[in-house]
């Protein structure tokens, strides 16, 4: 396991705290860490709402990266509530592809931290619509 993935896993673990925000909103069940081109790690958590207007942890982390002035991501790690990793949902994949239009194929996604299984976005999104 390379140290960047380990740091990303630890960063996601540190922000993952499920909590009820209100009767119709909860957050923190899923956490994510993204590695920017500069080498900085940004984190985010999911925010789930009863009406479906929530946001995934991956996009939340990417929003944090963009807020800090960075627009290039090289790695994505999502930590599910059961402690396992998973692929970004379709909305997150589309967001990553649009963000990284020319280089999205090279973005690495941690699929299984325990078994060091990494795939590239080109495997998850082989033929983008544009």
Active site (catalytic) residues: 58
Do 16 and 77 form a contact (C-beta atoms < 8 A)? Answer: no
Distance CA 93, CA 56 (A): 11
Using H for helix, E for strand and C for coil, what is the string for 83-115? CCECCCCHHHHHHHHHHCCCCHHHCEEEEECCC
Token duo for residue 44: 């985010």
- Region at 9 (left for phi over 0; alpha for psi -120 to 50; beta for the rest): alpha
DSSP state of 55: B
Token duo for residue 85: 């990793």
């Amino acid at each position: 396991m390379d140290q960047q993935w380990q740091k990303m896993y630890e960063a996601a673990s540190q922000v993952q705290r499920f909590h009820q925000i209100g009767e119709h909103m909860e957050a923190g069940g899923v956490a994510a860490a993204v590695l920017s081109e500069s080498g900085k790690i940004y984190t985010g958590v999911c925010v789930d709402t009863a009406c479906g207007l929530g946001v995934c942890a991956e996009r939340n982390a990417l929003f944090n990266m963009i807020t800090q002035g960075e627009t290039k991501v090289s790695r994505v790690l999502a930590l599910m509530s059961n402690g396992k990793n998973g692929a970004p949902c379709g909305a997150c994949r589309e967001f990553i592809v649009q963000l990284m239009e020319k280089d999205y194929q090279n973005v690495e996604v941690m699929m299984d931290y325990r078994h060091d299984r990494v795939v590239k976005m080109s495997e998850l999104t082989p033929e983008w619509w544009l």
